Structure 1
Amino acid sequence: MPNPHRQEKLGELIAAELSELLRTRVKDPRVGFASITHVEVSGDLRHAKIFVSVMGSPEEQKETMKGLRNATGFLRHELATRLVLRYMPELAFKLDTSIEEGARILALINQVEQEDREIASNPEGE
Structure 2
Amino acid sequence: MADTGRARKIADRIKVLIAANLESIVKDPDLGFVTVTDVRVTGDLQHASVFYTVFGDEAQRAKTAALLEKNKGRLRSFVGGQIQIRLTPSLDFFADAIPETASHLEDLLREAKERDAAVAAAAARAKYAGDADPYRRDGEDDDDLPGGEDASVEASPARDEDGTAPDARA
TM-score by length of 2: 0.65
Is residue 83 from structure 1 mapped to residue 89 from structure 2 by the alignment?
A: no
Deviates more, 1:91-100 or 1:106-115: 106-115
Q: 1:61-72, aligned counterparts within 5 Å? A: 61-72=61-72
Deviation at 1:25, TM superposition (A): 3.3
User: Which residue in the other structure is 2:48 paired with?
Assistant: 48
Report if the CA contact (8 A) 2:48-2:90 is conserved: yes
What SS does structure 1 have at the residue aligned with 2:40? strand
Deviation at 1:104, TM superposition (A): 2.6
Deviates more, 1:107-116 or 1:11-20: 107-116
Deviation at 1:81, TM superposition (A): 2.1
Deviating 4+ runs (over 6 angstroms): 122-125
The percent identity for this pair of structures is 29
Structure 2: segments with no counterpart, 5+ residues:
127-170
User: Which residue in the other structure is 1:97 paired with?
Assistant: 97
Q: CA offsets, 1:59-112, max 9 Å, x none?
A: 221211111000111111111222211111111101111233123312331243
Deviation at 1:124, TM superposition (A): 6.3
Structure 1: segments with no counterpart, 5+ residues:
none
Higher relative contact order (CA 8 A, sep 6+): 1
Separation of aligned partners in 1, 2:83 and 2:13: 9
Query: Match for 2:59: what amino acid?
Result: E
Separation of aligned partners in 2, 1:75 and 1:83: 12
Deviation at 1:31, TM superposition (A): 1.9
TM-score by length of 1: 0.85
Is residue 25 from structure 1 mapped to residue 25 from structure 2 by the alignment?
A: yes
- Higher radius of gyration, 1 or 2: 2
Separation of aligned partners in 1, 2:33 and 2:118: 38
Separation of aligned partners in 1, 2:57 and 2:108: 20
Q: CA RMSD in A?
A: 2.1
Query: Match for 1:60: what amino acid?
Result: Q
What SS does structure 1 have at the residue aligned with 2:67? helix
Query: Match for 1:13: what amino acid?
Result: R
Q: CA offsets, 1:38-79, max 9 Å, x none?
A: 111112111111111112222221211111000111111111
Aligned residues: 125
